[in-house]
């Protein structure tokens, strides 16, 4: 059994934004200096390890889990921290530029923990690319790659199910766009990387749902979900929607809410204030695992091939984007 003294030894001093005595945040558990300003975020630890394999000088032996979190690995070429709550942060360099990967598990609240706590410990502008899997609601074959031009949220309207006053079982939000520049760099890198293979790269809107099941119009006979018309409602509100997953909207939305660049109409306030301290440039790309039109699932042998191409494209895009950080650029 894990050493529980280690797990429960930290004192937290504020109920508002708890930090332990080392300055680590409460859930993701990193502190200043441990996370790069160019970050890939993924769901599970394996994908994080697969990405970190591309970091400079990293060996497979660096990338293992031999015990429960919290634990730290730190050597010349890699920093790794697994939090008690299984957030895994790995920081290294890629082609000489500092980059991090953070595995956040699933769902919008986990994305919210990651963005806020990571933003709290990183200085200056950031670029964050989400790399995940999704289902498509269009006639696109599984094993294709999607790049999100923007994302919207599909949420269960809980009151619809327990009171008489509500008319819609689901809320479908307006869309928030990805960062245009980062999204285009990513799309072009993916197209280039896949040009000699029979892999399709598509662009379009992504819907992020608060359930893998009900809010993605899956049928679960055990529960009343009233989602028979959900695909139709999504397509009516967002005809450009091609994919559904569970996290991307959180990233795009919070990037729009960054204090220094916030503007309700979503356009940057002016060219002059665009690149100020806590800006976050965002993009997202997903492997299409499920096709919801013909109810097919990807053949898993295809996944490693897709991942290899996507990881290279994502890391290349992350170091290509200009964050106004000359020191980093000169290393490139």
Site size for a second copy (CB under 8 A): 94
Please give the DSSP secondary-structure letter assigned to residue 212: S
Binding a second copy by CB under 8 A: which of 249, 316, 318, 321? 249
Q: How far is the CB of 230 from a second copy (least distance, A)?
A: 13
Q: How far is the CB of 188 from a second copy (least distance, A)?
A: 27
Residues 104-123 that bind a second copy (CB under 8 A): 105-110, 112-113, 116, 119-120
**How many CB atoms neighbour CB 20 within 10 A?**
15
Binding a second copy by CB under 8 A: which of 8, 195, 270, 326? 8
Q: Burial level of 307, CB count in 10 A (0-12/13-18/19+)?
A: middle
Q: Is 12 in the site for a second copy (CB under 8 A)?
A: yes
Q: Segment near a second copy (CB under 8 A), from 102-110, 184-192, 235-243, 313-321?
A: 102-110
CA 91 from chain centre, in angstroms, equals 16
C-beta closer to a second copy: residue 181 or 212: 212
Binding a second copy by CB under 8 A: which of 56, 141, 197, 220? 220
Angle, CA 216 vertex, CA 215 and CA 219 arms, to 5°: 90
Residues 276, 111: Cα–Cα separation, whole Å: 23
Residues 129-188 that bind a second copy (CB under 8 A): 135, 153, 155, 158-159, 161-164, 173-174, 176
Question: Residue 31 corresponds to which tokens in the numbers above?
Answer: 């502190």
Binding a second copy by CB under 8 A: which of 26, 31, 93, 124? 26
Residues 107, 208: Cα–Cα separation, whole Å: 9
C-beta closer to a second copy: residue 183 or 211: 211
Residue 282 contacts residue 178 (beta carbons within 8 Å): yes
C-beta closer to a second copy: residue 192 or 202: 202
Residues 49-78 that bind a second copy (CB under 8 A): 49-50, 53, 60-61, 63-68
Residues 211, 209: Cα–Cα separation, whole Å: 5
Residue 119 contacts residue 111 (beta carbons within 8 Å): no
C-beta closer to a second copy: residue 192 or 292: 292
**How many CB atoms neighbour CB 323 within 10 A?**
19
Query: Which three-class secondary structure string do you get for 161-198?
Result: HHCCCCCCCEEECCCEECCHHHHHHHHHHHHHHCCCCC
Q: How far is the CB of 135 from a second copy (least distance, A)?
A: 6
Binding a second copy by CB under 8 A: which of 168, 232, 257, 329? 257
Q: How far is the CB of 305 from a second copy (least distance, A)?
A: 11
Residues 261-280 that bind a second copy (CB under 8 A): 262, 264-266, 278
C-beta closer to a second copy: residue 43 or 92: 43
- Asked if residue 70 has a cis previous peptide bond (ω within 30° of 0), the answer is yes
Q: How far is the CB of 242 from a second copy (least distance, A)?
A: 15
Distance between start and end Cα atoms, the chain: 45
Residues 292, 136: Cα–Cα separation, whole Å: 6
DSSP element (H, E) containing 170: strand 170-172
Q: Segment near a second copy (CB under 8 A), from 11-19, 72-80, 90-98, 318-326?
A: 11-19
Residues 293-332 that bind a second copy (CB under 8 A): 295-297, 299-300, 303-304
């Amino acid at each position: 059994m894990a050493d529980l003294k280690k797990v429960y030894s930290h004192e937290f001093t504020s109920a508002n934004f708890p930090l332990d005595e080392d300055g680590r945040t409460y859930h993701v558990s990193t502190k200043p200096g441990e996370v790069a300003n160019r970050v890939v975020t993924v769901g599970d630890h394996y994908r994080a390890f697969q990405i970190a394999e591309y970091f400079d000088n990293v060996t497979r032996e660096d990338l293992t889990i031999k015990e429960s979190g919290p634990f730290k690995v730190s050597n010349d070429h890699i920093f790794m921290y697994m939090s008690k709550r299984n957030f895994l942060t790995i920081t290294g360099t890629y082609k000489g530029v500092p980059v991090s990967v953070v595995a956040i598990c699933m769902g919008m609240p986990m994305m919210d923990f990651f963005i806020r706590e990571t933003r709290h410990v990183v200085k200056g502008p950031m670029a964050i690319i989400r790399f995940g899997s999704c289902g498509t609601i269009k006639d696109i074959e599984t094993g294709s790659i999607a790049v999100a031009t923007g994302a919207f949220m599909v949420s269960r309207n809980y009151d619809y199910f327990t009171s008489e006053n509500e008319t819609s079982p689901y809320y479908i939000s307006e869309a928030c766009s990805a960062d245009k520049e980062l999204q285009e760099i990513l799309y072009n890198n993916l197209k280039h990387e896949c040009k000699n293979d029979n892999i399709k790269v598509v662009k379009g809107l992504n819907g992020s749902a608060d359930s893998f099941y009900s809010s993605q119009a899956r049928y679960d006979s055990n529960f009343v979900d009233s989602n028979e018309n959900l695909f139709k409602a999504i397509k009516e509100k967002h005809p450009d929607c091609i994919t559904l997953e569970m996290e991307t909207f959180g990233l795009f939305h919070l990037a729009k809410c960054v204090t220094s660049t916030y503007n309700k109409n979503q356009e940057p306030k002016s060219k002059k204030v665009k690149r100020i301290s806590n800006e976050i440039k965002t993009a997202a790309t997903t492997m299409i695992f499920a096709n919801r039109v013909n109810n097919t699932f990807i053949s898993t042998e295809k996944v490693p091939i897709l991942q290899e191409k996507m990881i290279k494209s994502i890391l290349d895009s992350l170091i290509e984007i200009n964050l106004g950080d000359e020191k980093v650029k000169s290393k490139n």
